[in-house]
Structure 1
Amino acid sequence: MNVYDFDKTIYDGDSTIDFVFWCLRRKPQLAVRLLRGTVAFGGYLLKLCSKTTFKEKFYCFLLSVPDVNNWLEEFWDEHQEKIKNWYLQQKQETDVIISASPEFLLRPICKRLHVQNLLASRVDRHTGMYMGVNCYGEEKVRRFKKMFDGPVDAFYSDSLSDAPMANLAKRAYLVDGDNLIAWEE
């Protein structure tokens, strides 16, 4: 089976940031709630709070989104074209997408791509609160092993923070734009 990171790997950009700006264009008053996230980001950089705490404060803008499910579908109507062609040409239904992005954000695009296997951060789509650990680094490996028994044929990511997942794979690739580069250990 092939395993893929999502943002900047098979998606051209950061889907969470794109979704936030998309929401802001629809409802500019969300900026007030997002200010809390900006302050929390400063706290995270200064190591005054965890990445999860920062992200929960950031995602609190969801409290003011009137119909999250509908907005997600409309967002992906406009952003599905950002799925990279190299991925579309090789994708399989058995693919696993594993990401630190919120599961609620990626579930609709996975459904559209006919990808059934998604492991991502569990975040409440209405409150922004985490329902578990951020799916990042070693947590990706833990979640993968909990769900799947078989080997990873190939792993793709844009980030060296995914080295733990790359180490599980027979082959691993760093993704730089549309370039796939063999992962060096």
Structure 2
Amino acid sequence: MRAFDFDGTIYDGESLFDLYLYSARHDPKVFRHIAPVLRYAIKYKLGRATLEQMEYGVGRIARKYLRDLSESRRVNDLCGNGLDVVLDDVAHLADEPAETLQSVGDEVPRPPSGGLDGLVRAFWDRNMRRIKPWYRPLPDDVIVTASFDVTVGEACRRLGLSRLVASTIDPASMEVTYLNFNTNKPKRFRELFGDEPIDEFYTDSRFDQPMIDLARHAFMVKGERITQIK
């Protein structure tokens, strides 16, 4: 089995932040949520915020952001634009058609209906080309990310991937139910996959050390350069 961090590793950028910026093009009021998220992220990376503080703070902000999106007339208009999933930009990434994303037999929810659904699909129509060329998906690959299942899940489906370990959102209530940060990553991974070995793990950050420790071999990704670190 190969396991991959998503943002900065196989995706060129931070997908959740890019989605914030993309959504602001359709409804500028969501800009009010960007600064608080960045503040929490910087504190966490500098060691000035605990995992518990991140879970509380980011969860609260994400809930407000998602509710703004679901109630936005401009964003909801995206659902009526006939947006189709575009696979041409990623034809080199997967030989098989994208299938319903699953995690250990349980279907990971698609983006909730309404504005967020159209927004996520439109975002990936534009941004699938930012999947790095070096990445070639295999059927048993696992994506392990702090981003949300309802956003990264759409990218995984287009890549033909069926296994995702991510932060989770209740599509009905827009409540953040789990944040897949740091030590939560291997904890959740083991809950889903038990003792199934990780032959290779790829990341762009030493903050994934808990996942690096689980893997037989680990690789650091910087742009298109991949360096074995374990």
| TM-score > 0.5, shorter chain as reference | yes
Structure 1 portions without partners, runs of 5+: none
Q: Match for residue 36 of structure 2?
A: 37
- Farther-moved stretch of structure 1 (35-44 vs 51-60): 35-44
What's the secondary structure of 1:58's corresponding residue?
A: helix
* Superimposed CA distance per residue, residues 7-45 of structure 1 (whole angstroms, 9 cap, x where no aligned partner): 00000000000000000011112234x168359739966
The DSSP-based 3-state class of the residue aligned with 1:155 is strand
- Which amino acid counterpart does residue 13 of structure 1 have in structure 2? G
- Conserved in 1, the CA contact under 8 Å of 2:7 and 2:13? yes
- 1:130-149 to structure 2, matched below 5 A, reads 130-132=176-178, 134-148=179-193, 149=195
The aligned amino acid for 1:15 is S
- Give the secondary structure class of the aligned counterpart of 2:177: coil
Match of 1:53 in 2: 56
TM-score (norm 1): 0.87
Q: Which amino acid is the alignment partner of residue 65 of structure 2?
A: F
- Give distance in 2, aligned partners of 1:39 and 1:95: 30
Give the one of 57, 61, 68 matched to 1:64.
Answer: 68
- CA distances 1:102-151 after superposition (whole Å, capped 9, x unpaired): 1111111100001100000112457653213x212221111111111321
Any idea what SS the aligned residue of 1:7 has? coil
Aligned length: 180
Judge conservation of contact 1:57–1:128 (CA < 8 Å) in 2. no
| 2:95 is equivalent to residue 96 of structure 1 | no
Residues 84/126 of structure 1: CA separation in 2 closer, same or farther (3 Å cut): farther
SS in 2 for 1:150: coil
- 2:20–2:30 CA contact under 8 A, matched in 1: no
Distance 1:47 1:136 in 2: 12
Instruction: Provide the identity percentage.
Output: 29
Structure 2 residue matching 1:137: 3-state secondary structure? coil
Contact 1:3 1:156 in 2 (8 A): yes
Kindly indicate whether the alpha-carbon contact (under 8 Å) linking 1:7 and 1:15 is maintained by their aligned counterparts in 2: yes
C-alpha distance in structure 2 between counterparts of 1:39 and 1:3, whole Å: 26
1:168, 1:68 → 2: CA distance?
A: 34
Are 1:25 and 2:73 an aligned pair?
Answer: no
Q: Which residue of structure 1 aligns with residue 121 of structure 2?
A: 73
Give the one of 133, 142, 166 matched to 1:85: 133
Answer yes or no: is the 8 Å Cα contact 2:20–2:34 preserved in 1. no
- TM (norm. structure 2) is 0.71
Do the aligned partners of residues 42 and 135 (structure 1) sit closer, same or farther apart at CA in structure 2, a change above 3 Å counting? closer
Note the residue ranges of structure 2 that are not aligned, 5 or more in a row: 71-114
Query: Contact (CA 8 Å) 1:40, 1:54: kept in 2 or not?
Result: no
Are the structure 2 counterparts of residues 43 and 145 from structure 1 closer, same or farther at C-alpha, using a change threshold of 3 Å? closer
Give the CA RMSD over aligned residues.
2.5
> Counterparts of 1:2-21 in structure 2 under 5 Å?
2-21=2-21
Contact 2:137 2:160 in 1 (8 A): no
Q: 1:36 to 1:63 in 2, by over 3 A?
A: farther
Paired AA for residue 145 in structure 1 = R
| 1:120-159 equivalences in 2 (<5 Å) | 120-125=166-171, 129-132=175-178, 134-148=179-193, 149-159=195-205
